[in-house]
């Protein structure tokens, strides 16, 4: 009887499950939507019960598609966005919402309500901030918890558990309160090399209550990703998921980091050992993360980390990113007058809008590299949700130059390509910041929804000068999560061994003609102009009559 492993990935709007065999082959997958509440004031909330229900539905449907019996599943792993889950001391949901709705107990990663708290934390200059690139982000958990203390003190006082969403899922599955080194190191200011949780830091930012119970509300047991949790699946969780009680549950990963694990260690066909330090992982979803693995810690201003064992055991991690990637392109396309026409045409062809546009663009341009020339006179700084890195500027916003009155599909194509170029230039900014501090590589291994696009891959190769590699699996994030279950079950003795045994590289995109590299260099110059314009315009309007205080 062949063995199988389940990876569960919770993104911004849906939960997905994938069933893999011992070699990392995808046997079946399924997706189920998650409810999201958007409110004024940059508030974005979810429900942990709704998320668990979506995971359950996805696992059950994926099992049916894979035609795998529950007894064949030997391990399960979870990954999720870095959203904050709040439970009371009995493990019940506690509201994080100004609405008071108890079901809304998750502050989603993209929720930027805690901007004032973020500025307050950064103003302390505490030494733990060195490990988040010098400045904490409103996407991280400490500012969110501080917001709760200031604005919903009843919830803060009643909270028995503050979880990163990935750790909540492993808790819901196994009953274990252990946290993953990935989550607490990358999003909570836990610094393993400097004693773990910093009581002076928590006191400095007004969260000394989290240290009063020896950190019980945020995690006293910190374990590496893939560590077996508790006694495996609890009776209740096994019943929900349709699996066998005691099935191994691996300590979790953040979603992008699961994609990194599922991608960068893949065999390349040469037979040589893989050097993960020569590979950058770039995981594209609603947002995008760029991750670099190093032997020694590298402190890069504006780039999160260095995080010890934040992704790969035995290595340090630096993490850059873009707060809006897939979400930026979707918003850009929907804002154009021709979107409705393209949406209808795409439905008639049985594809989505992006695939429809790409087919048209590639047919006209002849190849993916030359397609970038369509955006010669249209320029996009796609920072609809701020800049995560390397500028650490959550207040930045999108800027577009070169629009005219054309409202046809060709104009939408130009805007689409310009948006892809803007994302590539953001990636190049992070890579240059890493290179300036001694972090280098030769290959970008790209995963996530947009990774299947030859246009995306070629623009990124021509912009950065790196080879862009596609993982052999279509689902590196799900595979990375499944590897956690494989390690927890004992099928592999480490994450490193699971990466070598269950993943491989696929298609490569190499940089093309030198003139295209020069084209992108000039276009990146305009991208920098737009960034400066955004900064200058925000500064100017701060001094305008009627400007908000501060």
Q: Are 4 and 66 in contact (CB under 8 A)?
A: yes
Determine what percent of the chain is predicted with pLDDT higher than 70: 99
**Where residue 158 sits, what CATH number does that domain have?**
3.30.420.40
Per 3-state DSSP, the chain is made up of helix, strand and coil in percentages (nearest 5) of: 45, 20, 35
Q: How much is the pLDDT for 548?
A: 63
Work out how many domains the chain is built from and give that number.
2
Q: How much is the pLDDT for 174?
A: 98
How far is the C-alpha of 224 from the C-alpha of 136, rounded, in Å?
A: 23
Does residue 346 share a domain with residue 247? Answer: no
Residue 455 placed within a domain: no
Task: Please report which confidence band the pLDDT of residue 513 belongs to, taking 50, 70 and 90 as the band edges.
Answer: confident
Question: Which residue did the predictor score with more confidence, 232 or 271?
Answer: 232
Domain's final residue, options 221, 253, 285 = 253
* Interior angle at CA 348, CA 346 and CA 351, nearest 5: 40
Model confidence pLDDT, tens digit, residues 163-188: 999 999 999 999 999 999 999 999 99
| Residue range 255-278: mean pLDDT, rounded | 89
How far is the C-alpha of 114 from the C-alpha of 43, rounded, in Å?
A: 9
Does residue 239 share a domain with residue 119? Answer: yes
Angle formed by the axes of helices 454-464 and 514-542, nearest 10°: 90
Model confidence pLDDT, tens digit, residues 438-494: 998 889 999 888 888 899 999 999 999 999 999 999 999 999 999 999 999 999 999
Q: Are 469 and 445 in contact (CB under 8 A)?
A: yes
Does residue 237 share a domain with residue 331? Answer: no
Residue 95 placed within a domain: yes
Residue 441 placed within a domain: no
Task: Please report which confidence band the pLDDT of residue 2 belongs to, taking 50, 70 and 90 as the band edges.
Answer: confident
Residue 118 placed within a domain: yes
| Residue range 14-36: mean pLDDT, rounded | 97
Calculate the average pLDDT of the chain.
Answer: 95
- Phi/psi for 478 (5° steps) reads -65, -40
Q: How much is the pLDDT for 547?
A: 65
Low-confidence winner among 27-31, 120-124, 212-216, 488-492 (lowest mean pLDDT): 212-216
Write out the residue range of the structural domain in which residue 12 sits.
Answer: 4-253
269, exposed or middle or buried, with CB in 10 Å at 0-12, 13-18, 19+?
Answer: exposed
Q: Give the up-direction half-sphere exposure of residue 79: CA atoms within 13 A in the CB hemisphere.
A: 32
Does residue 399 share a domain with residue 536? Answer: yes
Does residue 380 share a domain with residue 238? Answer: no
Residue 317 placed within a domain: no
Taking 90 as the threshold, does the pLDDT of residue 13 lie above it? yes
Determine what percent of the chain is predicted with pLDDT higher than 90: 90
Model confidence pLDDT, tens digit, residues 337-353: 999 999 999 999 999 99
Task: Please report which confidence band the pLDDT of residue 549 belongs to, taking 50, 70 and 90 as the band edges.
Answer: low
Residue 460 placed within a domain: no
Does residue 119 share a domain with residue 16? Answer: yes
Residue 310 placed within a domain: no
CA distances from 81 to 113, 150, 494, 534 (A): 17, 24, 23, 28
Domain's final residue, options 253, 286, 309 = 253
Taking 90 as the threshold, does the pLDDT of residue 544 lie above it? no
How far is the C-alpha of 116 from the C-alpha of 124, rounded, in Å?
A: 13
Sign of CA pseudo-dihedral 71, 77, 83, 84: positive
**Where residue 391 sits, what CATH number does that domain have?**
1.20.58.2240
Does residue 205 share a domain with residue 337? Answer: no
Placement of tokens 């994926």 in the chain: 62
Model confidence pLDDT, tens digit, residues 392-416: 999 999 999 999 999 999 999 999 9
* Interior angle at CA 354, CA 352 and CA 357, nearest 5: 110
Q: How much is the pLDDT for 283?
A: 92
Q: How much is the pLDDT for 550?
A: 47
Model confidence pLDDT, tens digit, residues 82-139: 999 999 999 999 999 999 999 999 999 999 999 999 999 999 999 999 999 999 999 9
Does residue 236 share a domain with residue 141? Answer: yes
How far is the C-alpha of 434 from the C-alpha of 436, rounded, in Å?
A: 5
Q: Are 103 and 49 in contact (CB under 8 A)?
A: yes
Rg (CA), the chain: 23
Taking 80 as the threshold, does the pLDDT of residue 18 lie above it? yes
Placement of tokens 């310009």 in the chain: 418
Residue 463 placed within a domain: no
Does residue 168 share a domain with residue 30? Answer: yes
Query: Which residues, 6 or more positions from 272, have their beta carbon under 8 angstroms from its beta carbon?
Result: none
Taking 90 as the threshold, does the pLDDT of residue 543 lie above it? no
Global confidence as pTM = 0.91
Does residue 347 share a domain with residue 221? Answer: no
Closest by CA position to 20, among listed 32, 9, 10: 9
Does residue 352 share a domain with residue 204? Answer: no
Domain's final residue, options 203, 226, 253 = 253
Does residue 226 share a domain with residue 124? Answer: yes
| Residue range 30-52: mean pLDDT, rounded | 97
């Amino acid at each position: 009887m062949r063995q199988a492993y389940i990876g569960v990935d919770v993104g911004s709007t849906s939960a997905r499950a994938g069933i893999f065999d011992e070699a990392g082959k995808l046997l079946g997958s399924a997706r189920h939507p998650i409810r999201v509440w958007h409110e004024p004031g940059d508030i974005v909330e979810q429900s942990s019960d709704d998320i668990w229900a979506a995971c359950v539905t996805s696992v059950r449907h994926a099992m049916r598609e894979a035609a795998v019996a529950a007894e064949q599943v030997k391990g399960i792993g979870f990954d999720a966005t870095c959203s904050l889950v709040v439970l009371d001391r009995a493990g019940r949901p506690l509201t994080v919402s100004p609405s008071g709705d108890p079901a809304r107990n998750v502050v989603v990663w993209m929720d930027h309500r805690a901007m004032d708290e973020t500025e307050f934390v950064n103003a302390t200059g505490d030494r733990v901030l060195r490990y988040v690139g010098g400045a904490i982000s409103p996407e991280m958990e400490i500012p969110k918890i501080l917001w709760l203390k200031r604005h919903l003190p009843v919830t803060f006082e009643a909270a028995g558990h503050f979880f990163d969403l990935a750790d909540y899922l492993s808790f819901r599955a196994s009953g274990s309160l252990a946290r993953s080194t990935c989550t607490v190191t990358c999003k909570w200011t836990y610094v393993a090399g400097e004693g773990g949780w910093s009581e002076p830091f928590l006191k400095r930012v007004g969260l000394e209550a989290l240290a009063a119970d020896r950190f019980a509300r945020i995690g006293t047991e910190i374990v590496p990703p893939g560590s077996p949790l508790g006694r495996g699946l609890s009776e209740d969780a096994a019943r929900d998921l349709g699996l066998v009680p005691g099935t191994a549950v691996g300590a979790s990963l953040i979603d992008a980091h699961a994609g990194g694990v599922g991608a960068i260690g893949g065999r390349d066909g040469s037979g040589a050992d893989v050097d993960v330090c020569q590979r950058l992982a770039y995981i594209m979803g609603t947002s995008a993360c760029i991750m670099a693995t190093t032997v020694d810690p590298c402190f890069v201003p504006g780039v999160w980390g260095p995080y010890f064992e934040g992704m790969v055991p035995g290595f340090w991690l630096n993490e850059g990113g873009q707060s809006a990637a897939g979400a930026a392109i979707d918003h850009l396309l929907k804002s154009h007058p021709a979107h409705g026409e393209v949406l209808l045409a795409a439905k008639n062809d049985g594809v989505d809008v992006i695939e429809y546009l790409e087919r048209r663009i590639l047919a006209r341009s002849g190849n993916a590299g030359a397609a970038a020339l369509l955006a010669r006179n249209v320029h996009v700084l796609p920072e609809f949700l701020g800049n995560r890195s390397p500028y650490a500027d959550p207040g930045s916003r999108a800027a577009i130059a070169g629009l005219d009155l054309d409202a046809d599909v060709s104009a939408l194509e130009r805007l689409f390509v310009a948006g892809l170029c803007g994302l590539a230039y953001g990636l190049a900014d992070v890579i240059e910041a890493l290179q300036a501090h001694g972090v280098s590589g030769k290959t970008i291994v790209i995963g996530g929804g947009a990774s299947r696009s030859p246009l995306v891959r070629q623009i990124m190769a021509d912009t950065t000068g790196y080879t862009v590699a596609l993982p052999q699996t279509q689902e590196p994030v799900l595979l990375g999560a499944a590897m956690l279950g494989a390690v927890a079950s004992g099928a592999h003795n480490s994450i490193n061994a699971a990466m070598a045994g269950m993943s491989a590289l696929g298609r490569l995109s190499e940089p093309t003609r030198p003139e295209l590299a020069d084209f992108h260099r000039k276009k990146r110059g305009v991208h920098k102009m737009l960034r400066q314009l955004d900064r200058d315009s925000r500064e100017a309007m701060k001094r305008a009559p009627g400007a908000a205080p501060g």
